[in-house]
Structure 1
Amino acid sequence: MTETEAPFDPASNPSPDGLRRILRSVRTVAMVGVSTNPVRPSNYVGRYLALKGYRVIPVNPVAAGQRLWGQEVRASLADIPAELGPIDMVDVFRRSDQAGEVVDEALATLLDRGLKVIWLQIGVVNEPAAARARAKGVEVVQNLCPKMEYQRLFGELRMGGINTGVISSRLG
């Protein structure tokens, strides 16, 4: 069995209250695998989180040196300068079979900088890597999106997953 073939139990993720706590406590997010292309999910998730007041540090070796959301794109987690302060969460936009390397780099370079959470995006599950992070006291969320969870848990989604801001069932 390879690292990514280990069974995933969705109940291993934090409860809705736990996800709310995480989203309220996190201030700085290193987003690994971010794209500079504005139509890619990693780009609009990062942009959304930045608009919600999170400091989002983009990480992608191909785009290193470019800027997104007021931050310089870094080549790796290890390239995030200490003067940027604590990194509370690492959000992973990489395939499941690559997530273990990202988790290991995060544990090696960011534990002493306040790392609290590893968040693996929708479709990304790596139970052995998650177990390594939990063993170091880091919370893990797998197969969920922080943008979607923020919207769901803080009342921004309506029927159909759309926030129109308009009540459509008015009588007339």
Structure 2
Amino acid sequence: MAFVNPEREEIKGLLEGNTTIAVVGLSDNPERTSHSVSQAMQQRGYRIIPVNPAAAGDILGEKSYPDLGSVPEPIGIVNVFRRSEFTPAIAREAVAIGAKILWLQLGVYSEEAAAIAQEGGLTVIMDRCIKVEDSILRPDIRRI
């Protein structure tokens, strides 16, 4: 059976209930999509936790971690800006840390990653931009 994203109302509830987002592949380069999307989500009140082994130090004012397992706090959403072939391993990490949602950004899709995450109890959203969805589903949220 082919993967189907949750309905929009469910996605809205997931966004409202999970305000801590670990962004796997978050770049420290402001010209990269991962940076601009994460910055916009941060401005809308979400806590962004950078996960990027190549980026030491801080990104968007938050400490960057080399992997999900190194993050010392609970994570609601794992938002992935990596190529599809890397997502099964990320899904395994997301399950291991007890995340609630695996979100693969626009253009990122993996049935294998979805199956791993769903079997581990996570809700999966694929091939959708979290910033676009949040803007559409929660238009009343003001930027801070």
Whether TM exceeds 0.5 here: the answer is yes
Please tell me whether the aligned partners of residues 23 and 50 of structure 2 are also in contact (alpha carbons under 8 angstroms): yes
1:87 to 75, 78, 101: 75
CA distance in 1, matches of 2:2, 2:85: 14
Taking the TM superposition and a 5 Å limit, the aligned residue runs for 1:85-164 are 85-108=73-96, 110-111=97-98, 115-155=99-139
Residue number in structure 2 paired with 1:26: 18
Q: Which runs of 4+ in 1 moved over 4 A?
A: none
CA distance in 2, matches of 1:8, 1:50: 32
Residue number in structure 1 paired with 2:61: 70
Max radius of gyration: which structure? 1
Q: CA RMSD in A?
A: 1.5
SS of equivalent residue, structure 2 residue 54: helix
CA distance in 2, matches of 1:60, 1:130: 21
CA distance in 2, matches of 1:19, 1:86: 20
SS of equivalent residue, structure 2 residue 22: strand
For 1:105, the aligned partner's letter is: E
Q: CA deviation at 1:119?
A: 0.1
Q: CA deviation at 1:34?
A: 0.7
Stretches of structure 2 that go unaligned for 5 or more consecutive residues are none
CA distance in 2, matches of 1:103, 1:93: 13
Residue number in structure 1 paired with 2:28: 36
Length-normalised TM-score, structure 2: 0.91
Q: CA deviation at 1:154?
A: 2.3
1:103/1:74 CA distance change after superposition, 3 Å? same
Stretches of structure 1 that go unaligned for 5 or more consecutive residues are 1-6, 157-172
Please tell me whether the aligned partners of residues 95 and 121 of structure 2 are also in contact (alpha carbons under 8 angstroms): no
Q: CA deviation at 1:8?
A: 5.0
